Amino acid sequence: MFTIKGKTTDWEVVIGLETHIEVLSNSKIFSGASADYNPTVAPNTQACMVDVAMPGMLPVLNKHCVEQAIKFGLGINAKISNHSKFARKQYFYPDLPQGYQISQPAEDPPVVGRGWIEIMGDDGNPKKIFIERAHMEQDAAKNKHDMHPSKSFVDFNRTGVMLLEIVTFLDIKNPENNSYITSPDEAERYLREIREIARALGVSKANMEEGSMRADVNVSVRPVGSKEFRTRTETKNMVSFKFIKTAIEYEARRQVEIYENGGTVSQDTMRYNQGDGTTSVQRSKENALDYRYFPDPDLLELEISDEEIERIRKTMPELPAATRARYINEFGLTEYDAARLTETTDISKWFDTAVGGKKERAKAVANWLISELFAHPENMDITNKITENADPDAPRIITPANLAELVDMIAGNEINGKQAKEIFIKILDGERGTIHEIADKYGMKQITDTGAIESAVDEVIANNPAQVEQYKSGKVGLLGFFVGNVMKATGGKANPSVVNEIIRKKLA
Ligand code: ADP
Ligand code: MG
């Protein structure tokens, strides 16, 4: 549990996240202009009359965008609303040509209603995080302040690209329901899970560095054990897991200090200062009234039939939660291992490829992947980065096929664990070929021939009469000493469990 020590009491943190993901679609949510606004596209070439709000232009809802929202909603176990509305959220800013953002009002259920996802809690157990809603809205343009010493520019390419805003839920009326985020690490795990669900569904690239995923971070603190929620602050537009964690921790400590000094926290909108990892007050929080929300008269209510929802449900791929359940139930993996292996869809695909449907391989593959390969992600065949940087003559990559072969050879007593590690290191050093080929080349075949092992054991026993004496009089801890010497005598090639067995028998 994440707590902050105070002078008289410990404090816990309550976190609410509003996550925006940029939805993948060829055209924008209410216009036919291309939704491709990436920085290589020339500014203001992907915005049409609707996007820049020329008088008389009318929005037309993009069906594909609605389907994306439904897919995501199903992916977070949410109730999809059969009826939802669009409203205008009004404010003035140069990046908002309409003078309002078309969004979905919070009071009516937006297209995606109450849902939940599961993350690994700080105690290592699965934890449900409740989601209040996810609604469709328009993204704004991009202001450019760095192109000219005295002028600012606006690039409208991003205007009107669809965003899905996903808001976590705090059950104010039912404080015993603790399905919300309570630590910086849980916030990161929640965001990563949202990212992987969005990616698995093809709903968004959900890439923070690229800006296709951003989060507003609401933080409050309260004495450990207290059931009421205190005033929160909101730090907007965060675009890195690391900054989010730093901001939460800083903000929580700031609030604790205020309370400990007898003050009160005011409901402000904060700014995160990247340079020193601090937060500072940007403005006092606006409320819904300030935005003068009203139903958009240019758009009809959105009607979605149950048949439509079911049709979309049938197209859903396996999502990380289902993958985890499969690993636990079918492969017998632990919750922890299952969580690690589903951190990204790339990893779970890699793992599934290595397992190749052979359940008996799964545990060993998981162990190797988590304890050995995760230490060298740059050498795993998971991202294309490896091939970009690698010397073309020396692919230092471990593929799923490599690991499958290795695990099978260990299981078949062809090589032992120590030799397997050496083979890995050879591959990472640029060695090529199948695991069998490398093992042959370096004479790493394991000795399972009991005759050869027996004679090595006999020799070790003959050379160490004192230890034999001690072992026989009860110092059984010496077993390791004998095993070690036999392994040394066989150049590390003996099968350790066979060695163990023979020594025990001979010294009995
Ligand atoms: P708004 O839209 O005005 O920012 P919402 O009520 O929609 O406010 O809440 C935004 C987010 O803040 C939600 O994720 C919610 O759970 C969270 N939140 C609300 N109250 C608190 C609180 N006391 N502490 C932490 N988070 C909170
Ligand atoms: Mg908000």
Among 18, 137, 228, the mutation site with the greatest number of ligand 1 atoms within 8 A of its Cβ is 18
Length of the chain: 508
In 238-292, alpha helices (H) = 241-260, 288-291
pLDDT at 181: 98
Question: Residue 1: which pLDDT band, with cuts at 50, 70 and 90?
Answer: confident
Torsion of CA 359, 364, 365, 371, to 10 degrees: 150
Contact 81, 113 (CB under 8 A): yes
- The rounded Å distance from CA 218 to ligand 2 centre is 8
Judged on CB neighbours under 10 Å (0-12, 13-18, 19+), 219 is buried
Radius of gyration of the chain (CA): 29
Residue 17 CA, closest ligand 1 atom number: 14
Q: Which has the minimum average pLDDT: 143-157, 335-349, 439-453?
A: 439-453
Within its chain, how far is the Cα of 493 from the centroid? 40
Whole-angstrom distance, CA of residue 377 vs CA of residue 395: 14
pTM value? 0.81
Three-state DSSP at 468 gives helix
The encoded tokens of residue 335 equal 């919750």
pLDDT digit string, tens, across residues 194-227: 999 999 999 999 999 989 999 999 999 999 999 9
- The rounded Å distance from CA 217 to ligand 2 centre is 8
* Ligand 1, pocket residues at CB < 6 Å: 14-18, 106, 167-170, 218-220, 229-230, 232, 234
- The rounded Å distance from CA 400 to ligand 2 centre is 43
pLDDT at 432: 83
Whole-angstrom distance, CA of residue 12 vs CA of residue 17: 17
Ligand number nearest CA of 230 is 1
pLDDT digit string, tens, across residues 363-421: 999 999 998 888 776 666 654 333 444 454 545 678 889 899 999 999 988 888 888 99
Residue 230 CA, closest ligand 1 atom number: 23
Amino acid identity, position 224: V
Measured on CA atoms in the order 477, 483, 488, 489, is the torsion positive or negative? positive
Task: Provide CB contacts within 8 A for 252, sequence distance 6+.
Answer: 4, 11, 13, 219, 221
Q: Whose CA is nearest to atom 18 of ligand 1?
A: 16
Question: Residue 288: which pLDDT band, with cuts at 50, 70 and 90?
Answer: low
Helix (H) / strand (E) containing 216: strand 213-223
